[in-house]
Amino acid sequence: MSHLLKNKNLKELAKIYDWVSMCTHCGNCKYGYEYGAATNFAAMLCVQGDKFNFDSYRGSRGKVSLARSLLHNRIGWSDKVAHVLFTCTSCGACQQMCETDIKPWILRMFETLRYEAWKQNVAIPENIKAWSSTIGTLYNPYKEPHENRLDWLPSDVRASLPKKAEYIYFAGCTASYRRKQLARATVSLLQKLKVDFTVVEDEWCCASPLLRTGQYDLAAKFVEHNKALPEKYGASTFITTCSGCYRTLGRDYTMDAPEGYADKYGKMTGVKVLHTTHLLEEMLKKGEIEFTGSFNKKVTYHDPCHLGRHAEVYETPRNVLKAVPGLELVEMYRNRKFSFCCGAGGGVRGGFADYSLETAGKRVKEAEATGAELVTSACPFCYTNLADAIELNKSPLKMEDVVEIIEPIVRRK
């Protein structure tokens, strides 16, 4: 009998075999589709399948099948297995399409497979291994010194921020080290909106890159450390402009499996996690924000997977954009739950830069086709990949984060 759990060495994977075995191999997850009176959508959504073709790479079916083949002892570990596992961006499009009981476990299964891969002698992408070897001491995956984490913050602003506050602005590693203007824009925005917030010098990586690449053991101290920050700074809320941090703090830290990692690291309780666009939407709704200028451009919004499919926040950033005077919002064909990933997630940007940028290039082309002058998003990581692809492809598009659009033209009423 070929469907018996024979490989007991893969302990983490074996633990979720009850769910893995619910997959019927139907292939719904290989293609995005919805039909109905008001809808007529059909498009490839799987970034990985779009590039690497074979069914092993297409949607969750290939990976579930891989998990089962390993658990049933029908295939062994190899570099190719690692390639299949680490070229998936964890974008979650396949999960959207699945309808059986494995559905909520799909992303967790990808991460569990990667966890198992680290214990094998297989080709984990070199770059992932490189940042993993230093993240434990530098607390960021960019191999930057921790002491420089707040370099983005002008010293006068830093001096003006309270020690304790209601909100902690959690900038995240990408904004702190690579997209500093986004962190600065966020702080300026929060100041303009008169939000009681602070920025903390002992922020560590939220652990998103660790969890997404299955490095459970290493992730533990990061979760533990960051979880303690609100109490230390008297805060009730984390606010972040990074979708990756939002997903990690808001779900991995706070929810039970399979959505979160409470089973491994315990639950963060009594702390709210907001994306900056949540706060903006809320204040707009209450009439607390006033626009002081306009943004006269045609704009298309790219859904970050971690904010969109992972956390189901689709309308909030759109509502914010729609409120901006002069801004004309146009949609790409693939949007919301049927969005196409920028290609950076799941460790792919670090592990396979060329493929990651090629994917971003596909998304940039789609954005161009809307006739927009500018593509916006709500994540510094998507920003980085899309902006790089814009440059690489000499696209006429401009890239700005939602926060960058809003910040110059708002004030608190």
**Site residues (CB under 8 A) for other proteins?**
1-5, 21-28, 30-37, 40-42, 53-56, 61-62, 65-66, 69, 74-76, 78, 80-81, 83-84, 97-101
Closer CB to ligand SF4, residue 8 or residue 25?
Answer: 25
CB 409 within 8 Å of CB 205: no
94 binds, among ligand SF4, other proteins, none (CB under 5 to 8 A by kind): ligand SF4
269 phi/psi in degrees, rounded to 5: -120, 160
Among 6, 7, 21, 27, binds ligand SF4 (CB under 6 A): 27
- Asked if 209 touches ligand SF4 (CB under 6 A), the answer is no
42 binds, among other proteins, ligand SF4, none (CB under 5 to 8 A by kind): other proteins
Is 385 one of the binding residues for ligand SF4 (CB under 6 A)?
Answer: no
Task: Please check whether residue 328 is in contact with residue 295, taking contact to mean a CB–CB distance below 8 angstroms.
Answer: no
Q: Binding mask 101-120 vs ligand SF4 (x if CB under 6 A, - otherwise)?
A: -x------------------
CA–CA separation, 352 vs 357, rounded Å? 9
* Omega prior to 258 cis, within 30 of 0: yes
Out of 16, 81, 85, 91, the only residue in the binding site for ligand SF4 (CB under 6 A) is 91
Q: How far is the CB of 257 from other proteins (least distance, A)?
A: 17
One residue of 28, 120, 134, 181 binding ligand SF4 per CB under 6 A: 28
Write the DSSP string, 176-236: III-HHHHHHHHHHHHHTT--EE--TT----SHHHHHTT-HHHHHHHHHHHHTHHHHTT-S
Contact 212, 222 (CB under 8 A): no
Output DSSP code: residue 78.
-
Binding to ligand SF4 by residue 93, rule CB under 6 A? yes
Structure tokens at 50: 């779009």
Q: Does 26 bind ligand SF4 (CB under 6 A)?
A: yes
Q: How far is the CB of 241 from other proteins (least distance, A)?
A: 33
| Residue 360 contacts ligand SF4 per CB under 6 A | no
Q: Which does 396 bind (CB under 5 to 8 A by kind): other proteins, ligand SF4, none?
A: none
Instruction: Tell me: does residue 61 bind ligand SF4 (CB under 6 A).
Output: yes
Please identify, using beta-carbon distances, which residue of 40 and 155 lies nearer to other proteins: 40
Q: Which does 88 bind (CB under 5 to 8 A by kind): other proteins, ligand SF4, none?
A: ligand SF4
Q: By CB under 6 A, is residue 311 in contact with ligand SF4?
A: no
> What is the per-residue DSSP string for 140-190?
STT---GGGTTTTS-HHHHHHS-SS-SEEE--HHIIIII-HHHHHHHHHHH
CA dihedral 30, 305, 148, 179 (to 10 degrees): 110
What is the DSSP pairing of strand 272-275 with strand 237-240?
A: parallel
Site size with ligand SF4, rule: CB under 6 A: 27
- Quickly list H helices, 337-393: 348-351, 353-369, 380-392
Least Å distance, CB 358 to other proteins, is 13
Cα separation, 244 vs 250, whole angstroms: 10
Interface with ligand SF4 includes 54 (CB under 6 A)? no
Nearer to ligand SF4, 23 or 344 (CB): 23
CA 90 to mean position of chain CA atoms: 9
Q: How far is the CB of 37 from other proteins (least distance, A)?
A: 7
Contacted entry of other proteins, ligand SF4, none for residue 90, CB cut-off 5 to 8 Å set by kind: ligand SF4
What is the rounded distance in angstroms from the CA atom of residue 59 to the CA atom of residue 375? 26
Question: Which window, 91-99, 197-205, 293-301, 391-399, contacts ligand SF4 (CB under 6 A)?
Answer: 91-99
Residue 301 is classified by DSSP as E
3-state secondary structure of 101: coil
Which of these ranges, 23-31, 269-277, 291-299, 364-372, lies near ligand SF4 under the rule CB under 6 A? 23-31
Binding region for ligand SF4 (CB under 6 A): 23-29, 45-49, 59-61, 64, 88-94, 97-98, 100, 102
